[in-house]
Amino acid sequence: MTAVRLAGGPLADEIKAGVRARFERIRAKGIVPGLAIVTVGEPPGGNPYVRSKCRAAEELGAHAAVRRLPATASEREVRATLEELSEHPAYHGIILQLPLPAALDEDRHLEDIDPEKDVDGIHPVNVGRWVSGLSAHRPATPAGIVELLRRHVGDLAGKRVCIVGRSRIVGRPLSVFLSERAPGMNATVTLCHSATRDLAAVTREAEILIVAMGQPRAIGAEHVRQGAVVVDVGIHAIENPPAGGPRFEGDVDYEPVSRVASAVTPVPGGVGPLTVAVLLRNLADAAEAAAERA
């Protein structure tokens, strides 16, 4: 079997087209959708993820700004920046770029963001709302994966899904969304982490395997059930890539896995484009809500 290459680009383009139209309607009311990204201790060459979010926002008609704080920024400075942006009428979405330097407490600073502007969907208010099945900003990567699976697999009811990784931005929210009592969802979800025993035995049970473990090529053919759909969230830059060869790899060893699976997302070009598209859709939601309140 050679797996289908499950690219995220076509769905991401559709989502972005919808966002572009929504941004145009918001601009017609005299409001420019605004995204602010706060970085603490960004490397001198900049952060490619921050650049790509800003570029995509601007391409679709939003305004994007980066507030760069030094790695030595105090808790008070970070809080003041997030509170100022939360009050600022020009910004409808705020991203605190994680991870923060070890001296800062991520949980504490996420609460410094106005939940309405938390387009990453990880403020405790938003987490509480989406866990309860209420409307809220939802984290972009898992929300995009759900849409990709719905499109490729169809109804997920009763499907055996295994997720490797329980991060707050990918694995844990994905486990909540897929097991939700909601049309198209109702999957049976297993959530694995570093204390999981005999990982391959668990992952081989899955009809859908989603890997967000941050370990290059950790998942091989031995982890995959024949015919499974495999979603690779991991992304790692290859040091000294061969001339003309790949510059990134995922958590999944693509070639051997694609001989067992029925579909595999590539890296790059799988989950990554969806993340940015859904993030900007969250920004459209936030800007529309602000326009209605104005």
Residues at the site binding ligand NAP, with contacts judged by CB under 6 A: 141, 164-167, 169-171, 192-196, 199, 212-215, 233-235, 271-272, 275
Q: Give the nearest distance from C-beta 216 to ligand NAP in angstroms.
A: 8
Q: How far is the CB of 293 from ligand NAP (least distance, A)?
A: 30
Query: Is 226 part of the annotated catalytic residue set?
Result: no
Q: To the nearest whole angstrom, how small is the minimum distance from the Cβ of residue 189 to ligand NAP? A: 14
Q: Are 94 and 111 in contact (CB under 8 A)?
A: no
Q: At 233, list the tokens.
A: 């969230």
Q: Which of 97, 112, 118, 253 is catalytic?
A: 97
**Has 285 been annotated as catalytic?**
no
Q: How far apart are CA 55 and CA 46, in angstroms?
A: 13
Nearest approach in angstroms of CB 240 to ligand NAP is 19
In angstroms, the CA 211 to CA 3 distance is 17
Pick the catalytic residue from 114, 118, 120, 251: 120
- 114 catalytic? Reply is no
β 248-249/236-237 pair status = antiparallel
Where do we find the tokens 């844990």? 172
CA angle 171, 52, 288 (to 5 degrees): 80
Q: Look up residue 142 and give its two tokens.
A: 């898992």
Between residues 93 and 272, which has the closer beta carbon with respect to ligand NAP? 272
For the record, the structure tokens of 237 come out as: 């830059």
Nearer to ligand NAP, 169 or 176 (CB): 169
Residues with active-site annotation: 53, 97, 120
